[in-house]
Structure 1
Amino acid sequence: MTAPLDIDQLHTFITIVDTGSFTRAADRVFKTQSAVSMQMRRLEERIGKQLFAKDGRGIRLTSEGEKLLNYARRIIRLNNEAIAAFDDNRLEGTLRIGTPDDYADRYMPEIIGRFAKTHPNVELYIVCEPSEDLAEKLSRGELDIALVTHHPKVRVSDVVRTEPLCWVGSANHPLRDDAPVPLAVGRRDCQWRQLAVAALDATGREHQVLFTSWSSTVLAAAVLAGMAVSVLPESALRTGMKILNQSDGFPPLPPVQIGIMKRPGAPTSLINAISNHITACLDNITPAAVDDDMDADVKTFPRVARLRAGNMPGW
């Protein structure tokens, strides 16, 4: 019988990846650095592959390490869910969660589904509004936690995901080269809108805002109908959309960062539980599926980066 993977080794492996070093990981998991190194040697022996390679003075994951990371996160998450399912001291209460509706559409189904299985006695109250409005609701005590676009000059949040911000158009309706770029974007205070307009202005390309809404469903409908171009995070792309790049006359945009904001004084156990679920679910989000008959450059998405800090503007 094949020996199972060791949960503790997998946890240490993930911690090394998240902290970026064996030394910091050792502090996080309360082990000596030599003990952490020994765990990784045993894990590599169990897998039969090298997981880390030297990168200057640091380390990086090998391709086999990247492959294991995805499985490791899923195994640890399922392990935690199994333990929580038999916990006699289950969490109870109400959690008020805020998120922009584009994040709700892409991220919340998995977050809510997994959280409800683990904590069936917790009632979730979901509010979908722009990040700026959610931050105000948190400050007034109307929400407990919010998933927002990180914007350090405006609000403080803990970054849990970083990914490309893309220009998108319809895969089935080509743009006219002799007309201003028709835009479907958020309200005037939307940072993505400001980034898009500033980028087009910088290149001297004419544009016109045709659709304004903070509803991602409305903006996506305009794009899919071939009526406008918009900007979306990579993971929010939908079937029928095409990424527009520099060869199409669209300048590169800075990446978008997603952060968590918490209400001071909110129930710690509930907040920690939902925060862990959000982080774990966002770790496993992959780019949305696209049509098989789309161009090669549309089907191939850039690798999503997952960072822990930065100063990127957002919605």
Structure 2
Amino acid sequence: MAAPLDIDQLQTFVAIVDTGSFTKAADRVFKTQSAVSMQMRRLEERLSKQLFIKDGRGNKLTPEGERLLIFARRMLRLNNEAVAAFDDNRLEGSLRIGTPDDYADRYMPEIISRFARTNPGVELNIICESSADLGEKMKRGELDVALVTHNPRMRVSEVVRTEPLCWVASANHPLPDNAPVPLALGRTDCQWRQAACAALDSIGRDYHILFTSWSSTVVAAAVLAGMAVSVQPESALRTGMKVLSQQDGFPPLAPIQIGIMKRPGVAPSLMNAITSHIAACLDNITPATFGAEINEDFKAASKLPYLVAVNSGSSW
């Protein structure tokens, strides 16, 4: 009978894929880089297949590596579930988690997936509202954890991620010349909306609000249809979007910060488990994939100094 695959090697293999490098994977699995490389050599020898090939300074999966990844994730999930089923100290209970829908769309799938695999006895209740409303719910004790746009003037949160805020338009539809900029933004108390308007006001550029919505899907649809310009965090950029720079007449924006709010009184084991998963997932998020044209525009824009926009309301 053929020797079984080594779970530890598969865990390292998946860590390399998820982090994008052997070095980062070594930190995640608490091994040296040489130990990680040795594990991959042994895994390749066991399968008699090459799993990675050089891609510039990094590595990418071979077709055989892509096939293995499907099985590896399935095997690790079953292994974790089996271990958890016999763990007398496993976490149980429920957590009420709040997040704006744009963060839910980008971040929550991985957070929920990773947490559920390692803590199957914990029920997660997800509530999507604005950061301002989530802050109020936290004050009333209606949520246990909230992922919000950090705004120290409005609420206390622990910053877990910082990333650029970008002007975006459709890559397939030209903007009208010599006309007020049509904008698709959140409601009036949205921090990103206030930052965008303040930035355009600071350079005297005319604009008008064409679409207002709390839904990031609606805002993105308006942008991709070529109907409006909006602002999006770097990780939320989508294929078909073009990042607008100062050369296009759009001033740089201050980066956004994402924070975690925690309700006092939640069992420390539960709180530590969910917040550590959130922090790890946000740290592992990479910018959304988009075309070379957008990438070059973003690189050019990101080298410019940030404009700190004043806002007096609550955030998205």
Q: TM-score, normalised by structure 1?
A: 0.71
- In the alignment, the residues of structure 1 paired with residue 27 and residue 164 of structure 2 have an alpha-carbon distance, to the nearest angstrom, of 22
- Aligned partner of 2:102 in structure 1 is 102
Structure 1 unaligned blocks of 5 or more: 1-65, 304-310
Large movers: runs of 4+ above 3 Å: 66-69, 76-79, 81-87, 298-303, 311-314
Please say if residues 150 and 312 of structure 1, whose CA atoms lie closer than 8 Å, have aligned partners that are also in contact. Answer: no
| Equivalent position amino acid for 2:274 in 1 | I
| Equivalent position amino acid for 2:26 in 1 | A
1:240 aligns with 2:240: yes
How do 1:1-315 residues align onto structure 2 when only pairs under 5 Å count?
Answer: 70-76=24-30, 85=84, 87-291=87-291, 294=293, 297-298=296-297, 314-315=315-316
Shift in alpha-carbon separation, 1:182–1:104, aligned structure 2, 3 A: same
- In the alignment, the residues of structure 1 paired with residue 254 and residue 266 of structure 2 have an alpha-carbon distance, to the nearest angstrom, of 33
- C-alpha distance after superposition, 1:32-62 (max 9, x if no partner): xxxxxxxxxxxxxxxxxxxxxxxxxxxxxxx
Please say if residues 246 and 301 of structure 2, whose CA atoms lie closer than 8 Å, have aligned partners that are also in contact. Answer: no
- C-alpha distance after superposition, 1:158-196 (max 9, x if no partner): 000000000011111111121100000111011110100
- In the alignment, the residues of structure 1 paired with residue 213 and residue 30 of structure 2 have an alpha-carbon distance, to the nearest angstrom, of 39
Please say if residues 291 and 299 of structure 1, whose CA atoms lie closer than 8 Å, have aligned partners that are also in contact. Answer: no
- In the alignment, the residues of structure 1 paired with residue 241 and residue 248 of structure 2 have an alpha-carbon distance, to the nearest angstrom, of 14
| Equivalent position amino acid for 2:296 in 1 | D
**RMSD of aligned residue pairs (Cα, Å):** 2.7
Shift in alpha-carbon separation, 1:151–1:109, aligned structure 2, 3 A: same
- In the alignment, the residues of structure 2 paired with residue 76 and residue 126 of structure 1 have an alpha-carbon distance, to the nearest angstrom, of 31
Please say if residues 114 and 277 of structure 2, whose CA atoms lie closer than 8 Å, have aligned partners that are also in contact. Answer: yes
SS at the partner of 1:89?
Answer: coil
- In the alignment, the residues of structure 2 paired with residue 91 and residue 142 of structure 1 have an alpha-carbon distance, to the nearest angstrom, of 21
SS at the partner of 2:173?
Answer: coil
Please say if residues 147 and 261 of structure 1, whose CA atoms lie closer than 8 Å, have aligned partners that are also in contact. Answer: yes
**Deviation of 1:209 (Å):** 0.4
Please say if residues 158 and 259 of structure 2, whose CA atoms lie closer than 8 Å, have aligned partners that are also in contact. Answer: yes
Please say if residues 245 and 297 of structure 2, whose CA atoms lie closer than 8 Å, have aligned partners that are also in contact. Answer: no
Q: TM-score, normalised by structure 2?
A: 0.71
Shift in alpha-carbon separation, 1:276–1:249, aligned structure 2, 3 A: same
**Deviation of 1:299 (Å):** 7.2
- In the alignment, the residues of structure 1 paired with residue 207 and residue 144 of structure 2 have an alpha-carbon distance, to the nearest angstrom, of 39
**Deviation of 1:68 (Å):** 5.5
| Equivalent position amino acid for 2:199 in 1 | A
- In the alignment, the residues of structure 2 paired with residue 72 and residue 220 of structure 1 have an alpha-carbon distance, to the nearest angstrom, of 37
